Structure 1
Amino acid sequence: MKKFLLGLAVISSLFTGCSSDDSNPVQQPVEGNITGIIANDTIFAYGNYTLEGIVKINSGVTVTFDKGSTITCDKETGDNALVVLKGGKLIINGTASEPVVFTEASSVPGSWGGIIMYGDAPIKAAGGVTTATSEDGNNQSYGGTNAQHNGGALHYVRVEYAGAKLADGSKENNAFTFYSVGSETTLDHLVAYKGADDGFEFFGGTVSATNLISYGNYDDAFDWQDGWQGQNNSNWYAYQTVKGNYGMEIESSSNNNAFFPKVINVTLIRAAGTTPEIPGAIESDAFLFKKEGNGDFNNVVIRGYGDYTEGGVTYPGAAVRIFDATTNTNQVNGSKIKLTNLNISGTSSNILGATPAIVVGFPAGNFTTSTTATGANIDNGNWTTVGSTNLLQ
């Protein structure tokens, strides 16, 4: 009788271990490897995956990741990155409570190439050319005439410890890199965490991005060139700590464009003691405009971009720095740089030229301050937390 009762108890425990609602059983993560060229539409169900090598999504192919998945690579195996080739699509269905995380086993910044996407939206690269070749080691052509290019939809995605060079690339990659990506692509609720280069970089294109967090990246929090012209950007948040350059490095590849991007609701914070990536570099400003860089920014909070001292030398910091005389003449004086409703604190100067010869004077209404500007408005959740760290300081 005792054996019979024990058997019933075991069977009972098996059933009670399931959800009380058998139509909603607890989903177990799958495991698998992701490698090589993905040549067919693929859905990666909720799971823990290992990304091996430079994984490329072919033109005409859609790859989807389900919410809650974790994708890990290992720098010891060589170069790693997730690349969306021109014509391919990446769909990531993360949520606030179950983001999709791309990370690296060593947790060391600069250990892999991050997510790289190519499109055929318009660019204007150096010399005014409308196509160019990427410098990221993939040597891909980017640029075209398809302003509505659609590279997919990225929702609630965190990329950690990126910023590596790939193959013989001439520059480091970022957490997220977008080459001529178009306006039908969705970029929403993305985190760039502790990379060795920029958090987000745009090479031309027309894509816009909302609810971005750049945390602890060694170079710039946000960076663009080649005539990027996204018009519907909002809620960008940067926290630079320990090592970091500009909050935003803005250039247009020396082209005096008739267009400029627009970003509203921005918070840029530089923690005390943060120094530039290269010792002695004067790269500690919230906004840097150079090579005809421009843009329209409204409702901005800037904190902590003051002077810093290193090796007995004090270097000046500013809310806004204009790097060269041409940018000052064409973009500042030409009203193509607009910074309105700036709430500035902990910063030595509001506006500086890179040299005393560059005297910056914004036309009336193009540079305004406000003590009530609120900056980025981003909701907390699992997607904004790494370990015990809340990224929204």
Structure 2
Amino acid sequence: MKKFFLPLIAIFALVLSVSCSSNDDGPIIDPDPDPVNNKLSGQITSDMTLTNDVIWELDGRVTVTSGATLTINEGTIIKAYAGQEASAAVLIVARGAKIEANGTADKPIIFTSIADNIALGQKSGTNLTENDRGLWGGVIILGKAKASLSGDALENQIEGIPASDTNGLYGGSDNADDSGTMNYVSIRHGGTSIGDGNEINGLTLGAVGTGTSISNIEVVANVDDGIEWFGGSVNVSNAIVWACGDDALDIDEAYSGTISNSVAILGNVSDHALEIDGPAGSLEGRFTLDGITLIGNTTTENGEYADLRDRAMGTLKNIYAVGFKADSDVELDNNAVAQNFLDGKLSFSNWTVSLPNGVTEAKNIFAEKTGEGESQIILNPTFTERAASWATAGNSGGANLSSFSWTYAKSKGAL
């Protein structure tokens, strides 16, 4: 036996050396992780995988930095701690980084609050509802595509992230930029505040390019917007937003991609189903909304179909709207956006409206207003009169709702 003693010592020393080695490039992942210690914090600077055999915890601002890829396996649950202002729990995928979050209908990836009692293998817990908002931050993906920014700047700091964190920058010149994949992902109970009136969206897409694949996304119970696009060109399909505190789908800074087969469901404190702004600089870009269902809420104070503002440019087609109040409208907010409509930069086609009590024709939900300092509406015939050519009364259309059978919203009867 003695002749094996030295080799055994050598083997033991080698194993000890490997297990104790440091990795300054990023977090070390235990191949057999302990559920107690699966807490993410700080920066992820090298490739990392989140497995579905434990519940992961998000503590504070967690950033996937340039050159790193965060892979999230199907069925993985990530619970985020509460936090306000600079300590808000948020996942940022910075420019040059990637996220590969590939869930399935049977095993979606779920981001939620640490307060949620959802357990491994479950799709939902039992103690939170669509009215539990602001319990953590949200998910932010930033890219190098074009955005129309004030002063024609090439980059900007994304809202919700302190200016001191340069990983919050978005924008560039590569419309084909690839930030990875998000598929069958549900984001719940977020939108914590980082300052007075400044909350984080459920999913923020800042200058994300067409190389990125985003589909089958759900956002539920966010304080601010459900999904917001700041420029970029990424296409998004099969998205559903339910019961957020501000707008469901929000477009800014000349976003030029297509949002297809998607649903916006207002909750009891929601604002607009759609809020759409135009370019902030000279760069123009036109979005497409195609196959969208808008579901209103008659108890919310605001609860509008859509607000089109600040030189909004794009196409809204194959839209179905149901469940709104009689005084809800699709609004051209000022003469600048009305002029874009006249010039063909903003267009509408094939809208079907389930008429609220007191509304006699579908065209009547379309309204033109004047902005601050403006005294005269410029459309003649009016926006309302013109809407007769694309809006009809009916009880079907919009998105194919069978695409959302996997969602939390569907399980709770919101669809």
Give the distance between the partners of 2:273 and 2:402, measured in 1 at CA: 21
Per-residue CA distance 1:147-184 (angstroms, 9 max, x = gap):
11111100000000111233x58721100001111011
Aligned to 1:260: 286
Q: Which residue type is aligned with residue 81 of structure 1?
A: V
Residue 272 to residue 364, structure 1, CA distance change in 2 (3 Å)? closer
Aligned to 1:208: 235
Aligned to 1:225: 252
* Equivalent runs, 1:235-314 vs 2, <5 Å: 235-255=261-281, 258-276=284-302, 284-307=303-326
Is 1:234 the counterpart of 2:249? The answer is no
Residue 372 to residue 269, structure 1, CA distance change in 2 (3 Å)? closer
Aligned to 2:178: 150
Aligned to 2:4: none
Aligned to 1:25: none
Aligned to 2:63: 56
Which residue of 144, 149, 152 maps to 1:125? 149
Judge conservation of contact 2:366–2:387 (CA < 8 Å) in 1: no
Identity in percent: 25
Aligned to 2:391: 369
Aligned to 1:109: 133
Judge conservation of contact 1:337–1:366 (CA < 8 Å) in 2: no
Residue 54 to residue 367, structure 1, CA distance change in 2 (3 Å)? farther
Aligned to 1:43: 49
Q: Which residue type is aligned with residue 92 of structure 1?
A: A
Judge conservation of contact 1:217–1:244 (CA < 8 Å) in 2: yes
Relative to its length, the structure with more strand (as a share) is 1
Judge conservation of contact 1:99–1:382 (CA < 8 Å) in 2: no
Residue 153 to residue 138, structure 1, CA distance change in 2 (3 Å)? farther
Give the distance between the partners of 1:29 and 1:157, measured in 2 at CA: 23
Output the TM-score relative to the length of structure 1.
Answer: 0.81
Judge conservation of contact 2:185–2:218 (CA < 8 Å) in 1: yes
SS of aligned partner of 2:390: strand
Per-residue CA distance 1:46-84 (angstroms, 9 max, x = gap):
131111111100100011111111110121694100100
Q: Structure 1: where are the runs of 5+ without partners? A: 1-27, 277-283, 308-315
SS of aligned partner of 1:328: helix
Aligned to 1:83: 92
State the 1:259 CA deviation.
3.3
Judge conservation of contact 1:135–1:169 (CA < 8 Å) in 2: no
State the 1:380 CA deviation.
5.3
Which residue of 322, 345, 356 maps to 2:332? 322
Give the distance between the partners of 1:131 and 1:304, measured in 2 at CA: 39
Residue 174 to residue 350, structure 1, CA distance change in 2 (3 Å)? same
Residue 286 to residue 364, structure 1, CA distance change in 2 (3 Å)? closer
Judge conservation of contact 1:299–1:373 (CA < 8 Å) in 2: no
Aligned to 1:379: 402
Q: Which residue type is aligned with residue 309 of structure 2?
A: K
State the 1:345 CA deviation.
2.1
Q: Structure 2: where are the runs of 5+ without partners? A: 1-31, 116-127
SS of aligned partner of 1:60: coil
SS of aligned partner of 2:338: helix
State the 1:346 CA deviation.
3.3
Aligned to 2:19: none
Give the distance between the partners of 2:316 and 2:267, measured in 1 at CA: 23
Q: Which residue type is aligned with residue 335 of structure 1?
A: G
Q: Which residue type is aligned with residue 49 of structure 2?
A: I
Judge conservation of contact 1:114–1:175 (CA < 8 Å) in 2: yes
Judge conservation of contact 1:211–1:378 (CA < 8 Å) in 2: no
Give the distance between the partners of 1:90 and 1:153, measured in 2 at CA: 6
Q: Which residue type is aligned with residue 351 of structure 1?
A: F
Aligned to 2:20: none
Judge conservation of contact 1:200–1:222 (CA < 8 Å) in 2: yes
Is 1:192 the counterpart of 2:219? The answer is yes
Tell me the C-alpha RMSD between the 2 structures: 2.5
SS of aligned partner of 1:50: strand
SS of aligned partner of 2:336: helix
Which residue of 176, 180, 183 maps to 2:210? 183
Aligned to 1:161: 189
State the 1:298 CA deviation.
1.4
Relative to its length, the structure with more helix (as a share) is 2
Judge conservation of contact 2:189–2:220 (CA < 8 Å) in 1: yes
SS of aligned partner of 1:75: coil
Q: How many residues align?
A: 346
Which residue of 39, 54, 79 maps to 1:72? 79
Aligned to 2:413: 390
Give the distance between the partners of 1:297 and 1:332, measured in 2 at CA: 12
